[in-house]
Amino acid sequence: MELGECRNRKSSPRICTNYSHTPILPHSHTRTALPAKIYTYCFLSLLLLVTLQPAFSDVTAERQGTNIILRNDLVRAVISLPTGGRIAEYTYQPFGKGNITEISAGGLLMDHVWEQQWPGEFWSRVYAGEVVSAGPREATVRVWTTGEGSTIKGLKFERWMTLRDGERALHCTVSISNPTADGRVTGYWNQNVFWFQQQRDGQLWSQPTTRGISHDGWFVDDFTSGWIGASNAKLAQGIVFVMDYNDLFRLYPNSMDLTTEWMYDKVAIPPGKTWTTRFAVIPVSGMERFSHGSANMIANLTVTPMPGSLQITHQLTRSLVPLKNVTVKTTLKGLRQPWSATIPEATFPALTDAVQTASVRATGVEGMPAVITVTVTGTAADGAPVTESYQDYVGGDYGANIDLRTGNPLLSLPRPAKAKVYLKPDVLRYTPNPKPRILFLRGMYSKFFRVDQALKARFPNAEITDGWLDSSSVGLLLSYFPADYPGLLSYDLVVLANMPAAPLDLIGQEMLADYLQAGGNVLLLGGDRAYGQGDFVNTNFLAAMPVEFGGHYNWRKLPAGALKITAAHPVTAGVTFGTKDMVYYSHLCRPKPGAIIAASAGDRPLLVLGSTSKGGRVACVLSTPFGEAAPGETAFWDAPAWQELMGNTVNWLVKR
């Protein structure tokens, strides 16, 4: 987002502002007496300049009872402290008469955390609020409250809302601070309920997905950049919310309730730390829907069939960063047939709040469908070059983005990797406990691996904490996972029993990676949601594993899966499998160089061991609890030697 800008108005001093909302004024100078003629000349010059300048009003923020009114010449927002500090009324002058939202509809900028079911504890919470700055060139309002639920107890939630003179964007900063002595894990969720000109019908949403721009009103988990838009096509009025892609977990446009929402990745907030994110609310008049949103521009494109060609209409408007010398390059390529159209460029001298339109003709168009790619270049106010691209699916007479033979999308766009920044304690240290403490994260079929029996036999006094895989309206969850690093580092062993990455979220994967690097220990058990099926993406966690996880559906039937010991190691000491102790299905995970293959089944590795540079230990069990023993055979989970192997494995992992 915009970190700072300078504006120079002929009728006012040069004022620079940065995102801390602190104005930096020019140095003052000593006054000296001037001749009367010079005074007269200066007065007439100033009067002429003021006359030529367009009228604008200074930004203001003022408290009126339990509301705070934040406004400039374009936007007026009424912030209601008794109802969660939300914006209960919002007016954008180019929209014309009426507010886009009123208190009965819900409002803008409603705070939630997504581990709580809607409406959550903040819906009708009375917030504290203050005017941080009241103008004249910038006004900021701060609202805040303290969490009371179990996962957020004691956390301070703050939201800053800033308007600047002559700008339509509302700049927002949300922070969650932890002044308590205990770590917390939470996921922030922002909800907006509104419609345009009192017209509930006709509202649609725009959001970027791997399948192109979606206008559906439901959960979006495959978003490709940080924005979502809601609009009324008939009125050509809309709002685009631009946020940090690296923080996002899910976009949620809900067509049934006319809500525009997004959720953030869960974040672990250690004591004394603060999580912060920024986003902007940008109203747009003159666009029916949206194809792209960012800090640099908001855009829409339409493709219209013409005789022997296609007409491509580009609409662009300013976002947060002023751009000039803008050039739009368009490419159109066939998806099922190799062809490429010829399309001229479009140019705009500068992007403004007004929506500007340019139409270009694509020739050399052949069989549909196709992918359209738009690349916009321009120059920022400081002279820096700006380049952005966005893509969409063009179906034409073919129709929807789906291969009718396979059911897969014809166009599947990549998701950029997130540049995550995690909050962590200053020191990460694992210290073994006199009495072992085990964190057992249990997915389906975990009992078949007999790890419970092994722990009971080897460590009858061990303290075992369970975290069960569960589902909710926002996806897979764990009934328990440590809320902070000290909590996780207090365990001697973490068992991931057929556990996917989703309930851990990105922060859980990062915490496990740090836990291993600090000397902790992990046991992974196979199943239909394990390894490649689990969708783990944290590179540090994956690097610590002794096997390559592979991709989806990476478990297969073993034609001959007799168990056997393949390495002399403390884990295999005293273990002897019978010739009919069998594994029927196992994962196709390739051991890494230096890993120890302690046991195998048929020609596949079955128990693979590894260590980290700081002494952390990892054991990967690649069998799956599937199949049925034939007469005369023993499934691995019933074999006495297997239970002995698991006992040795947990003993080695907890360094006993």
pLDDT greater than 70 at residue 44:
no
**Residue 158 has what pLDDT?**
98
Class of domain 292-394: mainly beta
Query: What mean pLDDT value characterizes the chain?
Result: 89
How far is Cα 490 from Cα 431, in angstroms, rounded to an integer? 7
> What is 60-198+217-285's CATH topology?
Beta-galactosidase; Chain A, domain 5 (2.70.98)
Flag the least confident range among 38-52, 76-90, 248-262, 296-310: 38-52
pLDDT greater than 70 at residue 102:
no
Which two structure tokens, joined as six digits, stand for 434?
Answer: 């006199």
For the chain, the straight-line distance linking the first and the last C-alpha, in angstroms and rounded, comes to 52
How far is Cα 378 from Cα 352, in angstroms, rounded to an integer? 13
**Residue 105 has what pLDDT?**
67
Flag the least confident range among 31-45, 221-235, 430-444, 457-471: 31-45
Mean pLDDT on 369-395: 96
Task: Report residue 101's pLDDT band, with 50, 70 and 90 as the boundaries.
Answer: low
**Residue 57 has what pLDDT?**
55
Provide the whole-model pTM: 0.80
Would you say 23 and 164 are in contact if contact means Cβ atoms under 8 Å apart? no
pLDDT greater than 80 at residue 26:
no
**Residue 614 has what pLDDT?**
85
How far is Cα 508 from Cα 606, in angstroms, rounded to an integer? 26
**Residue 548 has what pLDDT?**
97
Taking the mean position of all CA atoms in its chain, how far away is CA 522? 27
How far is Cα 637 from Cα 643, in angstroms, rounded to an integer? 8
Comparing 222 with 44, the larger pLDDT belongs to 222
CATH 2.60.40.1400 domain position(s) in the chain: 292-394
CATH 2.70.98.90 domain position(s) in the chain: 60-198+217-285
List own/partner pairs for 472-477 with CB under 8 A and 24 or more apart: 472/117, 473/117, 474/114, 474/250, 474/263, 475/250, 475/502, 475/503, 476/500, 476/502, 476/503, 477/115, 477/503
Buried b (16+ CB within 10 A) or exposed e, 45-55: eeeeeeeeeee
Q: Which of 450, 525, 437 is closest to 486 using CA atoms? A: 437
Would you say 601 and 555 are in contact if contact means Cβ atoms under 8 Å apart? no
Class of domain 437-653: alpha beta
How far is Cα 43 from Cα 52, in angstroms, rounded to an integer? 14
Cα maximum dimension of the chain: 115
CATH 3.40.50.880 domain position(s) in the chain: 437-653
* Number of alpha carbons in the 13 Å side-chain half-sphere of residue 30: 1
Q: What is the pLDDT of residues 296-307, one digit of tens each?
A: 999 999 999 998
Q: What is the pLDDT of residues 609-634, one digit of tens each?
A: 999 988 899 999 999 999 999 999 99
**Residue 584 has what pLDDT?**
96
Taking the mean position of all CA atoms in its chain, how far away is CA 152? 20
Q: What is the pLDDT of residues 398-441, one digit of tens each?
A: 999 999 889 999 999 999 999 988 888 888 999 999 999 999 99
